[in-house]
Amino acid sequence: MNIFGRLDRYIFLQTLFGVLVAAGAVCLAIILVDVVEQLRNVAGVEGAGSGTAFKFTLMRTPAILEQALPFAVLVGSIVTFMRLSRSSEVVAMRASGISTWRFLSPVAILALLIGIFTALVLGPGASRLNAEYETQQQALTSNVSISDSSSQGKSTWTRDRGPEQHYTITYQAYADGLYRGVTIYTFALDDTAFVSRFDAETATRNAGAWTLLNVTESRIGASPIFQPQTILKLNSLAVQAGGKSGDTTAKSIPVWALPAAANSAALSGGSPQRYWLQFHRKLALPITLLAMAMIAAVLSLSTNRSGGRAVMTAAAIGAGLIIYFVNDLSGALATTG
């Protein structure tokens, strides 16, 4: 029994080393491309240079690692078991009476542990850094657009809900609780028909209403009406916008905050699907990594007698890629309803 304990630890550590090497290689390739992309994004921005681009890439690195983990587990498991097969260690284990599932169990445990660690530790940290990255990048973009006299600035949009209407809101800037360049489109709750449009110089929002200042109201078939102040009441369950876009990516939210974000989006008249999708993806990550590890291990353990090890390895990589892209495609279809 002690021998099996040492064998389990040996396979566990060998697979962990392979996964770490594969994760490092995949992340390095993606990071090099991302650095070039960030350099292009900050080009011409006053006060931003290669240091800013490198900082942005570092802030995105945990999210990049999280996305690369399925490939890392797949490739790391393939490399580990091919090395064990090439050195005849797999043959020795089988000859000693150890079943295949017995020496696959450390790989399964490693995949589950990596998935749990990613969902509970790496994922939330990556979400916070990604949200900070988006905030800083948006600030840089806003500075560029405001300083350019030929540009109208970058609009941010969100949604809200009143007692009888849905509101779609766009604004140019937000600071110190004040929205500037605000346009609000109102739609009926029952049939989502367009009701009116409000264009305001500035606006504020509290838990009970939007207060628009120097506003022009436009309705179909009627002349525009200017008013110094207009109040649009909100549903008591509406969500405080807080000056952030209502289309905040679900990837920027920690896993435990996704259900609340989904409920908030639904109450504000938005779609909660992208939040629920991301929530279930994060919960299913340990199972996804386990599937990748098992596919890689089973298909890369073929013997050389048939000369098909290269074919089986390619099949393992192909199966992993198919799972990844089908998962991504089904997620995109689910997000759009």
Q: Can you tell me the distance from the alpha carbon of 123 to that of 128, in angstroms, rounded to the nearest whole number? A: 9
CA atoms within 13 A on the CB side of 318: 7
pLDDT in tens, 76-126: 888 888 887 777 777 787 777 777 777 788 888 888 898 888 888 887 888
Most confident range, picked from 28-32, 119-123, 144-148, 216-220: 216-220
Tokens of 209: 């209403």
- What is the rounded average pLDDT of the residues 126-140? 75
Give the model's pLDDT for residue 3.
45
pLDDT in tens, 10-65: 888 888 888 888 888 888 888 888 888 888 777 766 666 777 888 888 888 888 88
Tokens of 89: 């260690």
Give the model's pLDDT for residue 175.
77
Q: Give residue 184's Cα distance to chain centre.
A: 29
Non-local (6+) Cβ contacts of 66 within 8 A are 118, 122, 123, 126
Q: Can you tell me the distance from the alpha carbon of 100 to that of 246, in angstroms, rounded to the nearest whole number? A: 50
Closest CA to 328 of 60, 108, 70, 23: 70
Give this prediction's pTM.
Answer: 0.63
